Amino acid sequence: MQATAPEPTLPTLHRASPAGAKPNPGLTPIMLNHAAWVTHDVAATADFYTRIMGMELASTVLDDSIPSTGDDIPYFHIFFRMQDGSTLAFFEAPGVPAPAKSTHPAYDIFNHIALQAKNREEVMKWYEWLKSNGIDVIGPTDHKGLILSIYFHDPAGVRLEITTPLDTEWNRHTDKGYEDLKLWVECKEKAKREGRDVPKALIELITGLRKRYD
């Protein structure tokens, strides 16, 4: 009898912790403190986030080495504050070359940060405001009734999203989340075991699941 490969046991596919895993002692981050990127023009960045995005210049740090790693990279670090106290931050470091180009457009589309607006009307107000400042804006896009979003870029090329929930429970679809995660990972593992093309198997899965929304 031919032995079949055991099903993979991946802890994140299930709510329950795997046997022997330590339970989380009640540690969940409270909020976004900051997300940070490199800019090559901190003046343009400061103008964009204060004037266009209406955020407050919250804090700055100048140093000639990185405290966490000890790397000798002189830099100017700047933070901009949103209404809830969370911030977006940037570093300008002299002599740092431009980043390498992405290997696939997906990186430039998927890597982004979304900032929340009050409601649909406010998203449209953002749309008009950004356009009136000559900024290219994509959208508004209704994401399957979950959220409504517009997309644009800051002067450093960071992809930004202004979004508002259309479904008040948009970030509480945990059961469906675990189901989707399991389907996705198991589809990949199964295709690998069977020597099938993994992207093709995943596209078939997506095509099947799309019917949910049609």
Cβ distance to Fe ion smaller for residue 57 or 114 = 114
Instruction: Supply the DSSP symbol for 170.
Output: T
Least CB distance to Fe ion at residue 114 (A): 4
Residue 113 within binding range of Fe ion, rule CB under 5 A: no
Of 22 and 104, the one with the shorter C-beta distance to Fe ion is: 104
CB of 112 to Fe ion, least distance (A): 6
**Contact flags string 148-167 toward Fe ion, x per CB under 5 A:** -------------x------
Give least dist CB 51 to Fe ion, A.
Answer: 24
C-alpha distances in angstroms, 49 versus 81, 124, 154, 169?
9, 19, 8, 29
Nearer to Fe ion, 161 or 186 (CB): 161
Q: Which is nearer to Fe ion, 143 or 182 (CB)?
A: 143
Q: How far is the CB of 117 from Fe ion (least distance, A)?
A: 13
Beta-strand pair 113-116/159-165: parallel
> For the packed helices 198-210 and 174-193, what is the interaxial angle rounded to 10 degrees?
150
* DSSP three-state, residue 172: coil
40 touches 96 (CB < 8 A): yes
Give the DSSP H or E segment for 61.
strand 56-63
Phi, psi at residue 108, to the nearest 5°? -75, -20
Comparison of 43 and 114: residue with beta carbon closer to Fe ion:
114
Shortest distance, position 140 Cβ to Fe ion, whole Å: 13
The answer to whether residue 35 forms part of the interface with Fe ion (CB under 5 A) is: no
> Between 161 and 204, whose beta carbon lies closer to Fe ion?
161
Tell me the residue nearest to Fe ion as measured from the CB.
114
Give the helix ranges, DSSP H, for the chain.
Answer: 42-47, 105-110, 120-132, 174-193, 198-210
Q: Is 114 in the site for Fe ion (CB under 5 A)?
A: yes
Question: What's the CA gap between 161 and 112, in Å, rounded?
Answer: 7
Count interface residues toward Fe ion (CB under 5 A).
2
Q: By the criterion CB under 5 A, which residues form the site for Fe ion?
A: 114, 161
